[in-house]
């Protein structure tokens, strides 16, 4: 089957670059293989930074390809370098591999066989698409000036897998076989989403996903009998007042055009109905799309919690666990990726996000080191209501596997264009 077509058109009917048409066709040849891999991963998900079964699946899938493979030691991370026909820089393509600690209720034939563990965020598709792209690009080495690094990453779901791989020297790549330096000059990732129709692509320049931090406030009063609150210092109403005030603090002090989200998700206090406890604990999450607003929310949280507690004769210990930074796309790389998405998916099927997504991503660590972009790939059937589709992280989320053809093609096209 020929992989070139000089008169190809995209789904919108406009002329398509022959190379992109060829890559899209080439990607389609490996959809069945990617689907089989995705289903194996989905059926046997793993959590965190140590994914031995998943790593073995990746290694088996790329074993016959001309790749220089590195196994990371602190995690189950795998990197594989493909050297092109001519010297040049390295482009990094990332796919994350880990699942979530939650049940699955999709009813799929290949549903999770592991109790309390599910690929509910599409990482199984990311891994399968990246492996498919490794196969496509390995067969097109003569079109590559430089190298492609395939980064199979564990621990994205809150375990800082990308940071661990960076700390192990991910970007300290050796020279090419002829001795030519080949630094990593760009990074690209795809994230499957149920918020777009199958095969659609979306991203934006600048902040594309939020930072994510954990807040904890321990309010300490004085315990006593529930019938005599005047002889105690009750931390429970103080904690409730802090929660309400934090909501007001965000809405009244944070610029709505540089937004933040502060959500309290746990309030724990007491052991029984007739005892005033000594302490009450508040826990939640802080999201922001700029480091300036992130810092402002942190300062406001401490001021509000400590001030309200002091006003009622209590103490407040505020702890903030720093999570992922803001995921910030390089403006030029984001525009390039969206333009390429229009060529691969069709002009009308690639849209610029109007606002950042308030979820967080540890691809942010990569984008703090090299210019690049993350794009979203739709996986919801076209006849489904997007507003009612189960979202990412739902026990019933469903991703249509046909979208992986677009993902494989987009991964491959980014590398080929960047290394033309």
Say how far apart CA 192 and CA 187 lie, in whole Å: 17
The values of phi and psi at residue 63, to 5°, are -60, -35
C-alpha pair distances (Å), 105 with each of 94, 116, 117, 229, 394: 28, 11, 11, 46, 9
Fold of 18-207+326-418: Aminopeptidase (3.40.630)
Q: Which helix (H) or strand (E) element contains residue 94? A: strand 86-96
Task: Give the pLDDT of residue 15.
Answer: 59
The domain at 211-321 falls in which architecture? Answer: 2-Layer Sandwich (3.30)
How many other C-beta atoms lie within 10 A of the C-beta of residue 376? 24
Question: Using an 8 Å Cβ cutoff, are 86 and 178 in contact?
Answer: no
CB 8, CB 21: distance < 8 Å: yes
Can you give the pLDDT at residue 224?
Answer: 98
Residue 288: beta bridge partners?
A: 211, 260
Comparing C-alpha atoms, which of 288, 312, 320 is closest to residue 240? 312
Enumerate the domain spans of the chain: 18-207+326-418, 211-321
Q: What is the pLDDT of residues 9-64, one digit of tens each?
A: 444 444 568 999 999 999 999 999 999 999 999 999 999 999 999 999 999 999 99
The predicted structure's pLDDT at residue 7: 40
Q: Rounded CA gap, 319 and 210, in Å?
A: 20
324 catalytically annotated = yes
Point out the catalytic residue in the list 30, 324, 365, 411: 324
Q: Per-residue pLDDT tens, the chain, 420 aa: give them.
A: 334 333 444 444 445 689 999 999 999 999 999 999 999 999 999 999 999 999 999 999 999 999 999 999 999 999 999 999 999 999 999 999 999 999 999 999 999 999 999 999 999 999 999 999 999 999 999 999 999 999 999 999 999 999 999 999 999 999 999 999 999 999 999 999 999 999 999 999 999 999 999 999 999 999 999 999 999 999 999 999 999 999 999 999 999 999 999 999 999 999 999 999 999 999 999 999 999 999 999 999 999 999 999 999 999 999 999 999 999 999 999 999 999 999 999 999 999 999 999 999 999 999 999 999 999 999 999 999 999 999 999 999 999 999 999 999 999 999 999 999
3-state secondary structure of 273: coil
Instruction: Give the whole-angstrom CA distance, residue 235 versus residue 239.
Output: 6
Tell me whether residue 411 is one of the annotated catalytic residues.
no
Catalytic residue among 104, 156, 400, 401: 401
Instruction: Answer yes or no: are the C-beta atoms of 417 and 336 closer than 8 Å.
Output: yes
């Amino acid at each position: 089957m020929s992989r070139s077509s000089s008169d190809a058109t995209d789904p919108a009917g406009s002329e398509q670059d022959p190379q992109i048409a060829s890559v899209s066709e080439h990607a389609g040849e490996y959809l069945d293989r990617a689907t089989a891999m995705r289903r194996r991963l989905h059926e046997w998900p793993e959590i965190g930074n140590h994914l031995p079964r998943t790593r073995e699946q990746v290694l088996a899938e790329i074993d016959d390809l001309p790749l220089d493979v590195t196994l990371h030691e602190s995690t189950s991370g795998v990197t594989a370098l493909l050297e092109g026909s001519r010297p040049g820089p390295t482009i990094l393509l990332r796919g994350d591999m880990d699942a979530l600690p939650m049940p699955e209720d999709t009813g799929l034939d290949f549903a999770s066989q592991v109790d309390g563990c599910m690929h509910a965020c599409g990482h199984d598709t990311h891994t399968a698409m990246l492996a498919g792209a490794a196969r496509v690009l390995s067969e097109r080495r003569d079109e590559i000036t430089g190298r492609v690094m395939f980064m199979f990453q564990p621990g994205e779901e809150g375990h800082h897998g990308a940071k661990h791989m960076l700390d192990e020297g991910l970007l300290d790549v050796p020279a090419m076989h002829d001795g030519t330096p080949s630094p990593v000059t760009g990074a690209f990732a795809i994230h499957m989403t149920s918020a777009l129709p199958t095969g659609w692509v979306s991203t934006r320049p600048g902040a594309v996903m939020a930072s994510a931090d954990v807040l904890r406030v321990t309010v300490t009063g004085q315990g006593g009998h529930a019938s005599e609150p005047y002889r105690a210092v009750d931390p429970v109403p103080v904690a409730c007042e802090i929660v309400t005030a934090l909501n007001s603090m965000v809405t009244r002090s944070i610029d709505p055009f540089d937004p933040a989200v502060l959500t309290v998700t746990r309030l724990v206090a007491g052991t029984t109905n007739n005892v005033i406890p000594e302490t009450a604990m508040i826990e939640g999450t802080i999201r922001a799309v700029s480091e300036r607003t992130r810092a402002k929310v942190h300062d406001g949280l401490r001021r509000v919690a400590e001030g309200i507690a002091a006003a009622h004769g209590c103490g407040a210990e505020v702890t903030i666990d720093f999570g992922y930074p803001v995921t910030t796309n390089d403006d030029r790389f984001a525009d390039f990726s969206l333009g390429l998405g229009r060529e691969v998916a069709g002009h009308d099927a690639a849209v610029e996000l109007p606002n950042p997504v308030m979820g967080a991503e540890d691809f942010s660590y990569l984008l703090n080191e090299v210019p690049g972009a993350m794009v979203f790939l739709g996986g919801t059937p076209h006849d489904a209501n997007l507003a009612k589709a189960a979202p990412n992280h739902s026990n019933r989320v469903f991703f249509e596997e046909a979208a992986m053809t677009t993902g494989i093609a987009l991964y491959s096209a980014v590398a080929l264009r960047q290394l033309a």
